[in-house]
Structure 1
Amino acid sequence: MKIFNKKNIFIAPYTPISKSFKDYLVSNLNINFCGFIDKNKKGINLYKIEQIQDTSFDFIIIISPNHYKSIYDDYLKLIDNKKINIINIQDNQYQLLKDYKKNDTSHIKEYSTKIDINNIQRKGVTFISKGFIDTNNKYLYLFCLFNKITVHIVTDNKKQLEELRRSKLACTDLNTQESDILIAQSKYLIFDQANHTNFYISPNQITIQLWHGVGLKKMSKLTNITYDYFISTSKWTNESNFINIFQSKKFLIYGYPRNDFLLRETSSLDLLFCDKELYSFSKTHKIVLYVPTIREYLFQGEKTYKDLLPFNFYTLNKSLNDINIVMIIKLHPYVLEFFYLFIENSDFSNIIFHPEQGDIYPILKYTDILITDYSSIAYDFLLLDRPIIFFDYDREKYEKNMDGFLFNYDEYTPGFKVQTQEELITAMTKVDTFKKQRKHIKNKFFDLQDQFASNKLFDIIKI
């Protein structure tokens, strides 16, 4: 980071992550911050790339884990590449990403163009999951396998690849020649994230974006790809959110494949990527599941596990034992890294830390009370009509960093709101008075409250 010291800096795009990075730079280096670059947002210290190309500055820093490639390519059209830097977040540290272009060895465009020139018919379905296989991709993939559709899943998550191979399920390592060929040959490409869409897609292929949740967080507009189909859960979520963020030829209100699972019987394959011991445990004990969202401001300065959650775990464990409740805590992998040593040296009777990766939905299915804050998991849980507690101890700070919420927080959080450990324990034993509010919000978020989202999607891809 020293190369930025005493330099004139722009940062792109304007997001909670980039705002936190700007605060980190200002706190640790002597920089002259010139402003943010963002092609969709307007405001003080916000610029379009065209507005700054003739101004005097030293560097543009791009920090966008999912979209830095498309942003970099756009900026190269106007700005000298020596002035453009990419920052990656690795092991909870900001790191300068060097020569990403040299490491980009994809041949998808080459293979796909040959297929089109030679009029070769594409077949099959490929699910694309960079980083990890998320739940909507997982459950639709399994549904297709069960119904004898030729499907494949590509990911760079080594643990999940190993489990798929042990189960003899069709999978390929992402960013290999094999995956490039597979992607080029597939008729249907299915995503549930937006972090690996900046590659060549033939006009003869069909793209489906399942996405991964509807929540309180604001999102930046994504314009690097126009999907054939975007899958959502209601007309209201489309109008209030998705049509303003994504480009798609059609927005289909089908619901999410992962929510099918919450409403139907469980099969053995459903437990793929799931901690099976915890799953069995959750079926026979009273469980509260705590799933906090990631805080972008956590990347500022040195941290220990004590800085990341406002708990005294020893008194928390005693309180949980007193009321005969077990708390399962599912932390974001970035956060859980700080807890490894603490977990190894602790032995709690009523607190269990969920592994860093893995599908939480089988456990969610048997959860008695959900504890969250600003996460979209709360809205899926509405389909089960069980109590939710919103542990929003840092609401003011989080909301400021996010430039506010997409919706009115108090109106769209149907549960007790608590800020301390003591209030949290008390809320677990209170009478549930939010049933009516849960139903009202559930009806806004979900036009269809059944278990047939996968069936509807299957009708598209089996043609």
Structure 2
Amino acid sequence: MVFEAFGGKNYSDSPKYVYEYMMKHHPNYEFIWVFKKPGNVYLPGPAKKVKKGSAAYYEAYSKAKYWIANARLPLYLNKKPNQVYIQTWHGTPLKRLANDMKVIRMPGTTTDNYKRNFREETSRWDYLVSPNAYSTKIFETAFWMPPEKILEVGYPRNDLLVNRANDEAYIQELKESLNLPQDKKVIMYAPTWRDDEFVKKGKYLFDLKIDLDNLQQKLGDEYVILLRMHYLISNALDLRGYEDFAIDVSNYSDISELYLVSDCLITDYSSVFFDYGVLKRPQIFFAYDLDKYGQDLRGFYLDYNNDLPGPIYQDAYKLAEDLKNLDQIEAEYKDKIERFYNDFCALEDGASSRAIADIITRKQS
């Protein structure tokens, strides 16, 4: 079986957790992982690495009985009728997706082309993994998916959050590997990418609006901040002068591990907050361009102003001030955090990888 995450970028996300379960419980399969730069990736277990675009890559996709990916695969890969393609996808949707988008603003494509290519891809999916009933309903229209192809079993990548949420020794180990100070709380800032911030195809501009100077002044004694930028954003962060306060974790391959070490998440319109909700920890929404984003770009499936498990800020200075009283925010939003968990995270039982492995092995037997 062949695995790929984010187009071969790294070893991560749900394909990683399905692989790790399979390798442990069903080691008789042959496993192959696709990477853009195989030499840069540490891959545990018996899997073979192949370079994306190489002859071995085409051979892997041609011969593998199972394809397991978390994002679209190129249409030039020819899927045969006896091959099984399990698409894990990579997030509970907040913003409109694919067929539900009215206008596509991305470099190098038109709305019609984008939808036609997307539909051709989803027609190849034998199974699509869904983390909750809310996503299942959306996937049916956005991805043209018949309900019988949707596996509503939670996300394999969230197994870690369920199984290790209270594992202090493991969390300590992660903090040490990230060089985080033991005596400070950890905030993670993980903003989304904005569809219209492109300069040319594949190059996106991003401007850090959260004001690190002010945050460091207000919070530097008690907190460190992890900065997690979307993989489509290419201009590197310049953190000179913030060495002891801000840490760039944009290239850290496993975001689930970062959730575990974070006491609080700050995001805006990124679907990370659905996964972080599994931990029932405080979340804050820094939506500085909410008026523009909500009306103009992809629109939202949720009522952004009422359904979130934490407060919304448009002012970076007010946000920094209130972060000093994180416990107060947590207490104030306790009921909303609980309700959000019940609506979007309750399916996560720590056994999603097993559920997918069971489908694979049952099909074999």
TM-score interval (norm. to shorter): 0.7 to 0.9
CA apart distance, 1:150: 2.0
1:400-415 equivalent positions in 2, closer than 5 A: 400-415=295-310
SS in 2 for 1:227: coil
1:239-254 equivalent positions in 2, closer than 5 A: 239=137, 241-246=138-143, 247=145, 249-254=148-153
CA apart distance, 1:214: 0.6
Percent of aligned positions with the same letter in both sequences? 26
CA apart distance, 1:265: 3.8
CA apart distance, 1:307: 6.6
Q: Equivalents in 2 of 1:283, 1:196: separation in Å?
A: 44
* Residues 1:139 and 1:326: Cα distance change in structure 2 (over 3 Å): same
Query: What letter corresponds to residue 449 of structure 1 in structure 2?
Result: E
Query: What letter corresponds to residue 9 of structure 2 in structure 1?
Result: F
* Residues 1:405 and 1:363: Cα distance change in structure 2 (over 3 Å): same
1:215 equivalent in structure 2: 93
1:122 equivalent in structure 2: none
1:368 equivalent in structure 2: 263
1:143 equivalent in structure 2: 21
CA apart distance, 1:170: 2.3
Structure 1 portions without partners, runs of 5+: 1-124
* Residues 1:131 and 1:420: Cα distance change in structure 2 (over 3 Å): farther
- After TM superposition, the score normalised by the length of structure 1 is 0.64
CA apart distance, 1:234: 2.0
Deviations 1:237-272 (A, max 9, x none): 212x111122355211111111001111499xx99x
1:55-70 equivalent positions in 2, closer than 5 A: none
Kindly indicate whether the alpha-carbon contact (under 8 Å) linking 2:68 and 2:86 is maintained by their aligned counterparts in 1.
Answer: yes
1:8-157 equivalent positions in 2, closer than 5 A: 125-129=1-5, 130-133=7-10, 134-147=12-25, 148-157=27-36
Kindly indicate whether the alpha-carbon contact (under 8 Å) linking 2:131 and 2:345 is maintained by their aligned counterparts in 1.
Answer: yes
CA apart distance, 1:205: 0.9
Match for residue 199 of structure 1 among 61, 77, 80: 77
* Residues 1:168 and 1:233: Cα distance change in structure 2 (over 3 Å): closer
Match for residue 380 of structure 1 among 275, 278, 293: 275
Q: Does 1:297 align with 2:196?
A: yes
- How large is the Cα RMSD of the aligned pairs? 2.8
SS in 2 for 1:164: coil
Q: Equivalents in 1 of 2:286, 2:13: separation in Å?
A: 24
- After TM superposition, the score normalised by the length of structure 2 is 0.80
Kindly indicate whether the alpha-carbon contact (under 8 Å) linking 1:161 and 1:172 is maintained by their aligned counterparts in 2.
Answer: no
* Residues 1:166 and 1:219: Cα distance change in structure 2 (over 3 Å): closer
CA apart distance, 1:210: 0.7
* Residues 1:260 and 1:445: Cα distance change in structure 2 (over 3 Å): same
Deviations 1:132-165 (A, max 9, x none): 244111111122112215243433431x653236
1:144-293 equivalent positions in 2, closer than 5 A: 144-147=22-25, 148-158=27-37, 161-164=39-42, 169-221=47-99, 222-224=118-120, 225-239=123-137, 241-246=138-143, 247=145, 249-265=148-164, 277-278=177-178, 281=180, 285-293=184-192
Match for residue 329 of structure 1 among 195, 202, 227: 227
CA apart distance, 1:331: 1.3
SS in 2 for 1:127: strand
How many residue pairs align between the two structures? 325
CA apart distance, 1:300: 4.8
Structure 2 portions without partners, runs of 5+: 100-117
2:292 equivalent in structure 1: 397
Q: Which runs of 4+ in 1 moved over 6 A?
A: none
2:241 equivalent in structure 1: 346
1:301-320 equivalent positions in 2, closer than 5 A: 308-320=207-219
1:101 equivalent in structure 2: none
CA apart distance, 1:293: 0.5
CA apart distance, 1:334: 4.3
Deviations 1:169-208 (A, max 9, x none): 4221121111211211111111111143552111111111
CA apart distance, 1:296: 2.1
Q: Which structure carries more relative contact order (alpha carbon 8 Å, separation 6+)?
A: 2
Q: Equivalents in 1 of 2:140, 2:83: separation in Å?
A: 22
CA apart distance, 1:450: 0.8
Q: Equivalents in 2 of 1:329, 1:413: separation in Å?
A: 21
* Residues 1:360 and 1:446: Cα distance change in structure 2 (over 3 Å): closer
Q: Equivalents in 1 of 2:44, 2:356: separation in Å?
A: 27
Deviations 1:267-292 (A, max 9, x none): 9xx99xx99721x6277641000000
2:113 equivalent in structure 1: none
Q: Equivalents in 1 of 2:175, 2:197: separation in Å?
A: 27
SS in 1 for 2:191: coil
* Residues 1:259 and 1:427: Cα distance change in structure 2 (over 3 Å): same
Q: Equivalents in 2 of 1:282, 1:440: separation in Å?
A: 33
Kindly indicate whether the alpha-carbon contact (under 8 Å) linking 1:392 and 1:418 is maintained by their aligned counterparts in 2.
Answer: yes
Q: Equivalents in 2 of 1:399, 1:143: separation in Å?
A: 39
